[in-house]
Structure formats: structure tokens, C-alpha cells
Amino acid sequence: MSNNQSNLAMLTPARLGVGRCGVRPLTDSWLSFRADHAVAVDAVLSEVSQSFIDGFITHYDLPVVTTLAGDRQNFVVNPPLGKKLSDEVLAKLKSKMPSDMIDVQIVISDGLSSFALEENLPDLYPMLLDGLNQAKITTGQTVVVKQGRVAVADQIAYTAKARLAVNLIGERPGLSSASSLSAYLTYNPGPTTISSDRTVISNIHKSGTPPLEAGAFIVKCILRILDKKMSGVQLQALG
């Protein structure tokens, strides 16, 4: 590799100029590819770990529910099921929710990486709660959803009569990061919500936007959305 090319390769974690032997990659790069791929596959297939349930989830005393997908295998094969909770589960959740209207409903979903929750939430979640408290923004009962997708927060927030839904969800893993988190913010969420209604803050992880800073940043975004009474593309168009 020329000096120029190796300089280029240093600029990105992508696999540039890794070389080859005949038609095959070199053993080193093949092994590291396999290893990174395995981490990504694990992230998709793994359930939220027991230590996370015992630690984080117990500490904040959060209810854990599962979508219609039921288990991980079915979730991966039938993605639409990850958008909905059953009526029974929803009714049970409703009994734990405050009866008054609230500003923000926080939902934590495993999405395609439960690792993302475990890595980022211990720093991000308390920052988010502190910030919302300071700004006198009311929050309901935070819910953890297994086999959940972005839209599941609409259903929960609609039931909770929340003005805004926050879904902290594990992103689809790639070969350079398997623990990246996104925050989807939706104003006035409900059955008619579509994707363009959502504001998203992505790439939250140690080498992207640090989770601490992301927590404080999400608070600022929430304040703006509540002030402007809109989110997603509409909000972006304001400039």
C-alpha cells in the first residue's frame, strides 16, 4: 500500500486496503471480519442480559414487556410484530401509568442491539431524567420493551396520553459498532404517526456522540419540540 493509501485507511474504521492472497482475503483480515460480524450477529440475536435486568432495570424499577413478536427468532423473521403490544399487556401497563396527561413518555427498546442499551443507558438515562426534572417536564412510567421497534413507543405514549414519545432503541449493528443507540422523538404520537413525524438523534455510543452528552442534548431537543409543537421533517424545515 502506498503512503497515500495507508493515510486514507487511517481515516476510517472501514476495511480499506486490507490486501488479499489469491482470491481470498489475508488470514488476519478474514479473522477480524469474522469476529466483528459475530459481534454484530450476537447483538441482533441477544436478549437483554440478566445482569442488566438485575442492575439497571431493577434500580429504576421499570416494567418489562414483550411485543407481539414474542421471542427473538420471531421478531427477526416478522419485524412488523415488533411495533405492537397486545391489548392485555397494554391494559396492564395502563394501570401503572399516571392518569393525568404527561409531557414525555420514555420507552426503552432493544431493537436490533440489546448491547446498545447496556452500554449507553447507565450514563444517558439519568442525564435525561435529571434534565427533564430540572426543566419541570413531566414524565410517566418508563417502559422497557423486548423485541421492540421504533413505532411501539407510539402505542405506549398514546395510551399514556403523552405529548411526546421518546424511544431509546438499539440500532442495527454494523461491522464497526454493535452498540450504537438512537433516540426517536415523536410529537403527538398515535395510530396515525408516520416516520416523517420523528426527529432522530443517532450514533450514540462511546466513539460517536457520548451517551452523557446525548442525554443532555435529547433534553434540549425535547424542549424545542414541546415549544414548537411539532417534530420530524416539519421541525427540520423551520431551520
Partner 1 sequence: MKTALLSVGIDIGTTTTHMVVSRLTLENQACATRIPELTIKERQIVYQSEVYLTPLKDQAIDGDGVAQLLEKFYKQNSLDARQIDTGAVLITGESARARNARAVTDAIARLAGEFVVESAGPDLESALAARGSGAVEYSAKTAKTIVNIDIGGGTTNIALIACGKIIKTLGIKIGGREVKLAWQDKMLAVTEATEAGVNLLQECNITEQTITLNQAQRLGEEQAQRLCFALGLANTKALHSNHDKRYLEQLTLASQALTPDALLSAQDVDEYWFSGGVAALMEQLHSIDYIPFNDLGYFFAAAIKQQADNWPIPIKVVDSAIRATVIGAGMHSLQISGCTIDASAALLPLKNIRLLKVSVKGNLQSYIRSALSTLAIDLEQQTKPVALVLTDLSLTTLNYSSLQSLARSLAEVIDGLPEPIIIITKIDIAMSLSQILKGLIPNKRIITVDGIDVEDGDYLDIGLPLRNGDDISSAAIPIVVKTLLFYK
237 binds partner 1 (CB under 8 A): no
What mask of x and - would describe binding to partner 1 in positions 48 to 87, judged by CB under 8 A? ----------------------------------------
186 binds partner 1 (CB under 8 A): no
Here the cell at position 221 is 431537543
DSSP letters along 178-222, please? S--EEEEEEES-STT--GGGEEEEEEESTTSB-HHHHHHHHHHHH
Site for partner 1 in 94-133 (CB under 8 A): 122-123, 126-127, 130-131
Q: Looking at 110, 217, 226, 231, which residue binds partner 1 (CB under 8 A)?
A: 217
**Which span (44-52, 108-116, 149-157, 213-221) binds partner 1, by CB under 8 A?**
213-221
**C-beta of residue 131 within 8 angstroms of C-beta of residue 215:** yes
Q: Please list, in sequence order, all residues whose beta carbon lies within 8 angstroms of the beta carbon of residue 173, skipping any fewer than 6 positions away.
A: 39, 40, 43, 44, 112, 113, 115, 179, 180
Nearest to 128 by CA among 212, 59, 206, 202: 212
Which secondary-structure segment (H or E) carries 3? helix 3-10
> Minimum distance between the CB of residue 163 and partner 1, rounded to whole angstroms?
19
Residues that bind partner 1 (CB under 8 A): 3-5, 7-8, 10-11, 122-123, 126-127, 130-131, 134, 182, 200-203, 206, 208-210, 212-217, 219-221, 224, 227, 236, 238-239
